[in-house]
Amino acid sequence: MDTSRTVYLDHAATTPTDPRVVVAMAPYFTEEYGNPSSLYAAGRRAKRALDEARAGIARVLVCAPEELLFTASGTESDNMAVLGVARAYAGRGKHLVTTAIEHHAVLNPVEHLAKHEGFSATVLPVDEDGRVTPEQVVASLREDTVLVSVMYANNEIGTIQPIAAIARAIHQWKEAHGRKRADAPFLHTDACQATGFLDLDVQRLGVDLLTINGSKCYGPKGIGVLFKRRGVKLEPLVFGGGQEQRLRSGTENVAGAVGFAAALAIAAEEREAECTRLTELRDWFINEIQARVPKIVLNGHPTERLPNNINVSVLDIEGEAMLLYLDAHGIAAATGSACDSQTLDPSHVILAIGRPYEYAHASIRFTMGRQTTREDLAYVLDQLPPITERLRAISPVRLEMHAKKTIGSGASSETAKALLGQRPHWETKQ
């Protein structure tokens, strides 16, 4: 066993902070530590740095700086978009539309609104590759729909959604119903995983709200951004000092904002070359793993997927056991969203694309990054066959037995409901 080698293949969970980003951030920890709300010189310098960071991010997103709100994470930005829009427009309608494979940072606030604030929600199914169509979205719209939230690229299976086409379809629906661009329903997209890989030009995408965060693009953790198109209203989640246009109170994270802007600029500059490199590695790795390990199923769209994402179900094994064995060989991977790693519930994304329960529990996600090489992947490919063979020898039918036991127990948990193929109980069916 080679315990000296490490191969990090969990960049969808977080990325290392780029050294160039650290250099840009350094002065704002110990030298330029002023509060941007203060009127004296140190405060004004901090405010200037914050404004420059906002302007830098706006250049990448092709929007006005005042259309950007700094938050503490992608999760907060998603919550702000969903809860903020829903509450601000509750007098005009209380219907929300989203998809079955969204991150829980979107699904959970939608669920909260449906359970506790009188909203109804339509959760759109996806096809076997994890895609939703513009036609599906338009068919779900109602007179009282205020928000549609469809993620740009999925964090687990890497599938890319046709966001620009969905936006055009919603705009056409508005026109047909005598509504203006500034009228509901609005389109939000979680673009955290897309950052560094896909075009973030909000004009071309046509979205009204867009979420990104620093930790997914070699920037610092603890910083996020919500793009809010001019004219879209939000109810704030945090009250206090009135920062961020009175929509997100709290002393701003100047160092984080500076670092995020630097990371985003680097990612935009290197995007084309890095996407080409990673796509070649991704396709080679998928072909090799399917050739070397029997009973492998690729999850997600075969081509319309993020360049760095490989998600496979290794049948007849437990995903968590595979991760432990890989970790013992210095390989870091994942079974799904990092935010869900504390639960043993099956991936809602894998279930949503029509895979059986045992496929969901056997799924492994490898997500590559800037430092990933073919040699790294070759090392992983050397370890996978013997690990898989050993795990299958230990418990070849354990997954099926566990699934049947869980279903037969009559459990009322969300896990049992997922196993039984039920839709969320808070969803409004059309």
Based on the residue annotation, tell me whether 339 is a catalytic residue of this protein.
yes
Cβ(205)–Cβ(189) below 8 Å = yes
The whole-angstrom separation of Cα 262 and Cα 410 is 52
CA-to-CA separations, 135 to 59, 155, 173, 329, in angstroms, rounded = 32, 23, 11, 46
Tokens found for residue 424: 């969320």
Q: Is the dihedral of CA 207, 163, 244, 147 positive or negative?
A: positive
CA-to-CA separations, 211 to 54, 63, 227, 277, 395, in angstroms, rounded = 14, 14, 7, 26, 42
Cβ(124)–Cβ(116) below 8 Å = no
The whole-angstrom separation of Cα 354 and Cα 352 is 5
Closest Cα partner for 81 from 59, 55, 109, 57?
A: 109
Pairing of strands 209-213, 224-228: antiparallel
The whole-angstrom separation of Cα 102 and Cα 106 is 6
CA-to-CA separations, 196 to 112, 268, 424, 427, in angstroms, rounded = 31, 6, 33, 33
Catalytic residue among 63, 192, 217, 339: 339
Catalytic residue numbers?
A: 339
